Chains A and B, each alone.
Chain A
Amino acid sequence: MINTLTSPLAALGRQILGMLAIVGKIAMFAFDTLTHLIRPPFYWREFGIQLIHIGWLSLPVVGLTTLFTGGALALQIYAGGARFNAESVVPSIVAIGMVRELGPVLAGLMVAARVASSIAAEIGTMKVTEQIDALVTLSTHPMKYLTLPRVLAATLAMPILVAVGDAIGIMGGYFVGISRLDFNSAAYLKNTVDFLELWDVSSGMIKGAAFGFIVATMGCFYGMNSGRGAQGVGSATKTAVVAASILILATNYLLTELFFSA
């Protein structure tokens, strides 16, 4: 009788312990990655390649996402603001909303989908085809050669992606504002610039750096710990994207609390 009552609790306890163990492993993995920053050698060529893969090649995805979101945001704020005669706040709310929240979060989620999956699949495949073992036998540390360049490139590229995404998102709102909502072009731009503060932009970029670190760390961690065969790599890829996305949203809340709570 007691067993029947306690077995669901035991199962829940096992799940929680398992989850805590993974959190611990990820934390140790991230720490290990960072320690390689101060231990030579550093593979500059790999870092450059990853900057292009993660930063440059993610620009179209981030740009398109923020462009449409900026436009939709302008329409929504206009419709909502019309209920209490506050249509004029569209430029400032679009700008603040984009740079503080939507720009970094959307860029983070899109890069998570594009980059965490690709890193996990690539490193996972390297693991199952013994390429990671081959690296070790060729006197090359996999954390230095594979993980550090990706994590560093994502951490440095994301703030720039966020800044570009912010600008394109605001531009999306501007286009909708002047073409569909009858805003005056000069007034829209003036309102946008007047209400934006440097901290609005830089806080979003700091968030971007944190999200970039999360995306690449999740991709590398799950790739390095991938199971065998196609199923193992598939599972690692899926888990990397899901974990990165959830961590981005959780970290976004924590950073917003830290930066903007009264």
Chain B
Amino acid sequence: MITLTDVHKAFGSNKVLQGVNLHIARGESMVIIGGSGTGKSVALKSVLGLIKPDSGKIEVDGQDIDRAERDAFLARFGMLFQGGALFDSLPVWQNVAFRLMRGSLKRPNSEAREIAIEKLRRVGLKPEVADLFPSELSGGMQKRVGLARAIAAEPEIIFFDEPTTGLDPIMAGVINELIREIVVEMGATAMTITHDMTSVRAIADKVAMLHDGVIKWTGPVADMDDSGDPYLDQFIHGRAEGPIEAVR
């Protein structure tokens, strides 16, 4: 469904992606792991067209993303941002229903609000939260609202950018469970980037390890512990010693 072929991206002299090759099948939950600054977010944002790669090809359902009609293309995606990225000036329900209140998916406000409340309920939030503003919510609640917004228009593909960063272990577990449930329930294709190994085991069907701008290893999550790949091994066990240089 999503294919990245020899994708390169540099920011000045900093070569972030140096030939990324990756394929995510329809309905699969792919988790990309790797250290901070290895280009996980750049890879994800390149698929959405938020960052333009220097070279290489990115295809969704065999169609080059540069040739796709932008609105129709983006309508297939939902995304949960690392910090939630909720719009401060709008109440929670309008954040969730944002896509349903404008553009090709526009519907009456009352209907959009109903859908927003239903999605909030799906992520474990009460209807009273709908009229609050993002600044009145805790970090965990903001993540849930972000998740509700990502699924509001029932997208085919959902991206999760560091979904558990900044959350306590219990809330992180709740978010992981929600993500897994929603992806299975909707039959969506998911791409998650994280360095939280608990998340990886909870969310992933397949795992890809990004290091030095390339995918070092990819395979089913069940094979991760016996991969024999020294990079993956060092990363998943959090060892300071190994081929990945730890800056002290």
Contact = CB atoms under 8 A, between A and B. Distances in A.
B50 interface: yes
A41 B79 contact: no
A138 interface: yes
A133 B102 contact: no
Nearest to A128: B83
Interface in A81-122: none
A86 to B, nearest CB: 54
A41 B74 contact: no
A3 interface: no
A133 B49 CA distance: 10
B98 interface: yes
B50 A137 contact: yes
Given A130-B81, A133-B45, A134-B81, A139 B87 contact: no
Interface in A217-262: none
B85 A133 contact: yes
Nearest to B51: A133
A15 interface: no
Nearest to B146: A134
A131 B50 contact: no
A121 B86 CA distance: 16
Q: Is the interface of B mostly helix, strand, loop or mixed?
A: mixed
A133 B51 CA distance: 10
B75 A139 contact: yes
B134 to A, nearest CB: 10
Contact of B83 (A129, A136, A139): A129
B50 A133 contact: yes
Most buried by B among A126, A133, A139: A139
Interface of B: 45, 48-50, 70-71, 74-75, 77-79, 81-83, 85-88, 98-99, 102-104, 149
Given A130-B83, A133-B85, A140-B103, 14 more contacts: A43-B102, A131-B85, A131-B86, A131-B87, A133-B50, A134-B79, A134-B81, A134-B86, A137-B48, A137-B79, A139-B74, A139-B75, A139-B103, A140-B98
28 contacts: A41-B102, A129-B83, A129-B85, A130-B81, A130-B82, A130-B83, A131-B85, A131-B86, A131-B87, A133-B50, A133-B85, A134-B79, A134-B86, A137-B48, A137-B74, A137-B77, A138-B74, A138-B98, A138-B99, A139-B70, A139-B71, A139-B74, A139-B99, A139-B103, A139-B104, A140-B98, A140-B102, A140-B103
Interface of A: 41, 43, 125-126, 129-131, 133-134, 136-140
